A and B are shown apart, each in its own frame.
Chain A
Amino acid sequence: MSQPQPTTIMDETTPTLQTAEITSMQVAAPIASDKAARLNAPTIIDIDKVDFHYGQNKALHGINFPIKEKLVTAFIGPSGCGKSTLLRCLNRMNDLVDGARIGAGSIKISGVDIYDPNVDVIELRKRVGMVFQKSNPFPKSIYENVVYGLRLQGVKDKTRLDETVERSLRGAALWEEVRDRLHTSALGLSGGQQQRLCIARAIAVEPEIILMDEPCSALDPIATVKVEELIHELKQDYTIVIVTHNMQQAGRCSDITAFFYMGKLIEIDSTEKIFTNPGQKQTEDYISGRFG
């Protein structure tokens, strides 16, 4: 977390100091200078010609692209374009929807086909964490929210649980705000704090990938800035895939942007390229707000 990263406003301070005050409404510049090198990062998720169906409806058509390790990949596109569907394919949350199935193609994470019948979905979801659109803390204490994943795995060691709580809350830039009230209800936190708690809960089980489904859409601008800064911090350690309706957000916090329309991938490239010089007319129209 201490590695210098000139693109965020938080770099001069340590994470623990950042959290106490809202430092500024200033937002991060989108593009890092070492961009080119980083875009050649190894592939962690390989989405290979995926068709996806909800019953009779085909929601995704031949989606085919890799997601790079320890980068932030943003999915953008109008409502119903399939970006959330694709995100939910990556940890098989779509399994919960009746009639939802992959029709063709495969999704491999670190080389393993996650739709293989031998794959343990529980194990997959431990490695691929998820943060939802609406902050959804459990109606339990802050502490119990963070350790939920560990308790599921049968961890009882108090020291380890305590350490995880502090590490995760620090990681989610929430520790300083809640350290004195860990055992009070999580529902007493503000919306932005709740969403960061959900991020802490996700990183407590030490996933490799974190999926974020419009994590800031229910937050006010100040809380949004905090979560975006957090995303910058988190990509040191995690691969992040974020679905967003907010074009500026995709521009601010992602390295790679994928634009979807009508269940098809229209274009994927470095965020810089997508936002300054997109290759497709549709992408340009969408980004510039002339869509439709």
Chain B
Amino acid sequence: MDLTRKLRWRTIFSRGMDGLVGLLTLAALVPLVSVLYMVIRKGAGNFRWSMLWELPPAAGVEGGGFGNALVGTLILVGIGTLASLPIGVLTAIFLTEYSLGSKSARIIRFCAKILSGLPSILAGVFIFGVLVATTRQFSVIAGGLALGILMLPIIILATEEALLRVPRFLREASLALGANRTQTVLFITLPAAGPAIITGVMLAVARAAGETAPIIFTALFTSYWIHSLTEPTASMSVLIYNFASVPYDNMVNMAWTASFVLVLVVLVTNIVSHFVVNRSK
């Protein structure tokens, strides 16, 4: 029996495909790594702690920070989460626990998928039309709700996925012990799906924190601290957008630093939530 290696066409083809797969993986990593590299290189160097609590500088002035934008982003994302989390989770519960496989469930799921592909600027325009144009007031609430619209489909789809992965036998065990459907959802299904739901919510938060377009139309921007939820507010993404396009070095550098801080904030939120989820398990 001859077992020596021979160079065959299929071997060459296989090697070639191996190489191609590796190459394309590297290509996919290039934008990710280079963006992170640029943000850290250009942003981390100029970072000062005082930037976290100082107001943005005027044009041509040195110093300053983005404290109001950081607070603004946190509040905007907070409002977005408050608005979308209950609706999203309850919708997912309806889809999986109350109407699995029904026509209404299919329609709702389809709508959620369409909504998840919605250009974010349209969420801004929608809220602009509904809230800003009617009240003649740019506001934190409008900005938060615009973010909420973007977060909603992500939360619905992630929660639905998480609930579907809870094994059917756990639901049956609960029902067989005399639980009704609500009790089963509250005590068994939701806790079992909890970690996966939180991961989905974090994805939505990360997406919302970086959105610019829906906020320009709704929460606008201001150089001052936030005073009330019915006024405009600064936000990190709009600050980056504004400062990146001006001819003043201080502001351009601050846009880089703000990007760096925004990435850090999202990262830290993710790590903390993972930690909390793992501990509760």
Contact = CB atoms under 8 A, between A and B. Distances in A.
Interface in A72-105: 91, 93, 96, 98
Interface string B152-189: 00000000000000010110111111111001000110
Is the contact region of chain B dominated by helix, strand, or loop, or is it mixed?
helix
A167 interface: no
A152 B176 contact: no
B172 A93 contact: yes
B22 interface: no
For this complex, into which size category does the number of interface residues on chain A fall?
Answer: 20 to 34
A139 B173 contact: no
Contacts of B179: 122, 148-149, 152
A152 B183 contact: yes
A134 interface: yes
Nearest to B166: A139
B101 A149 contact: no
B115 interface: no
A98 B101 contact: yes
Given A98-B101, A134-B169, A136-B169, A129 B177 contact: yes
A130 B183 CA distance: 18
Nearest to A152: B179
Contact of A201 (B170, B177, B191): B177
A148 B178 CA distance: 10
B178 A132 contact: no
A126 to B, nearest CB: 4
Nearest to A211: B176
A10 interface: no
A125 interface: yes
Given A125-B176, A130-B176, A201-B177, A139 B101 contact: no
A262 to B, nearest CB: 26
A202 B177 CA distance: 7
Contact of B178 (A126, A134, A139, A198): A126
A139 B192 contact: yes
A149 B172 contact: no
A122 B178 contact: yes
Interface residues of B, number: 18
A126 B183 CA distance: 14
Give the residue among A98, A125, A134, A202 with the most B Cβ atoms within 10 A.
Answer: A125
B174 A138 contact: yes
Contacts of A138: 170, 173-174, 188
A171 to B, nearest CB: 16
B173 A125 contact: no
Contacts of B176: 91, 93, 125, 129-130, 132, 202
Contacts of A202: 176-177
Given A98-B101, A148-B187, A152-B183, A136 B177 contact: no
A202 B170 CA distance: 14
A132 B180 contact: no
Contacts of A137: 173
Nearest to B183: A152
A132 B174 CA distance: 12
Given A98-B101, A152-B183, A136 B178 contact: no
Contacts of B173: 132, 136-138, 198, 201
Given A138-B188, A148-B187, A123 B178 contact: yes
A205 interface: yes
A153 interface: yes
A153 B175 contact: no
B171 to A, nearest CB: 8
8 contacts: A125-B178, A136-B167, A138-B174, A139-B191, A139-B192, A152-B177, A201-B177, A205-B178
Given A93-B172, A136-B169, A201-B177, 8 more contacts: A126-B177, A132-B169, A136-B170, A138-B188, A139-B191, A148-B177, A149-B179, A153-B178
Interface of B: 101, 167, 169-170, 172-180, 183, 187-188, 191-192
